[in-house]
Amino acid sequence: MSDVKSSEKGVRCVALLSGGLDSTLAVKLMKDMGVEVKALAVKTPFCDFDCGKGCGFRVKEVADALGVELRTVHLGEEYIEMLKNPKYGYGSGMNPCIDCRAMMYRLAREYMEECDADFVVTGEVLDQRPMSQNMRALRIIERESSLEGKVLRPLSARHMKPTEAEMKGLIRRDMLLGIRGRSRRVQVELARKLGLDAPNAAGGCLLTDKQFARRVRDLLEHVPKPTLNDIELLKVGRHFRLGGAKLVVGRNKDENEMIQALMQDGDLMLEAKDVKGPKALLRSSNGKKPDMDDAGMVPLAASIVCRYSDADGPCMVIISDGINLKEIKSEPIADNMLESYRI
């Protein structure tokens, strides 16, 4: 007997798939019930699908292994706009989980309508995450995305009111699960039983990282309209606030290359001369281009570059705006001073 009531087109859902353990299980459960699944992965500017620790870790491979079609949507400027002032606030870092999930749900609703799906599926587990997976938050997210009654959470459904899909008989409630809480033990066991290569359970949103959150807060405080380039810059190097500008200093060859690639018109690049050392990008936060001849900020930035170079004492630092070059002699900044500028 099929677990799904048949209809002409069959039962179809849109599933938010992050590639993590819970959403993978949710999709697998739907597939095993005979539901056609269209997977949707939503990438925020703070979650790198390929970084190995992001929420979307190996999502494409997971979708392929599950045999489901995957659509990926990248959120950009609209996400940064929301991040400045999320209606439901931040979690322990700068993670606006309720607003963020509402954005993802909205995209799921649009896709659901587009592909004539019957409902939306997520891998959410009641009370697993403090901010976004308690009953109140889940209801808010549904309401904010106009998906009330249309979101099935197969892993925790037994703890929730029946959804429309269950009430219409599209899904048998007795096939759904009643997992709750932070432990992943049940999910790991279930994955093993279902023959799934249990994916990494860890969420990896950068916004929940305390140090990264400080950088985000600093950016939002100093830059009225941050760009995606500004966000990418947050992900590399050591960061220092020098009044109306920020200095980003590479920590290794890859970061130096990334910093060079992110340089844009108006930025200054600093590098020690004749000794090994980092690349450092000086970017204005107030729209005023940093001036190479600035007698305060540029020598200060150069002293930080000198500090991180292999020079034993003073060194020459090259400053470039992409066209013009200038050299200044610099002393390494003292460590206690350095810390006062660190973001």
Query: Contact positions toward ligand SF4, by CB under 6 A?
Result: 44, 47, 55, 95-97, 100-101, 132, 203, 205, 207-208
CB 213 to ligand SF4: min, Å:
11
CB 55 to ligand SF4: min, Å:
5
CB 123 to ligand SF4: min, Å:
12
Nearest CB to ligand SF4, comparing residues 60 and 289: 60
Nearest CB to ligand SF4, comparing residues 92 and 146: 92
CA gap 190, 316 in Å, rounded: 61
Nearest CB to ligand SF4, comparing residues 19 and 96: 96
CB 129 to ligand SF4: min, Å:
7
Instruction: Please name the residue that has the structure tokens 């006062």.
Output: 340
Nearest CB to ligand SF4, comparing residues 130 and 322: 130
**CA distances to 71, 221, 328 from 18, in Å:** 11, 30, 49
CB 271 to ligand SF4: min, Å:
35
Residue 281: CB atoms within 10 A of its CB come to: 25
CB 50 to ligand SF4: min, Å:
16
Residue 27: CB atoms within 10 A of its CB come to: 27
The closest alpha carbon to 343, from 192, 202, 213, belongs to 213
The residue with its CB nearest to ligand SF4 is 205
Nearest CB to ligand SF4, comparing residues 41 and 328: 41
Nearest CB to ligand SF4, comparing residues 117 and 205: 205
CA gap 267, 191 in Å, rounded: 49
Structural contact between residues 109 and 145, judged by C-beta atoms closer than 8 angstroms: yes
307 three-class SS: helix
Identify any residues that bridge with 11 across adjacent strands, giving them in sequence order.
Answer: none
Cα-Cα-Cα-Cα dihedral sign, residues 287, 75, 210, 132: positive
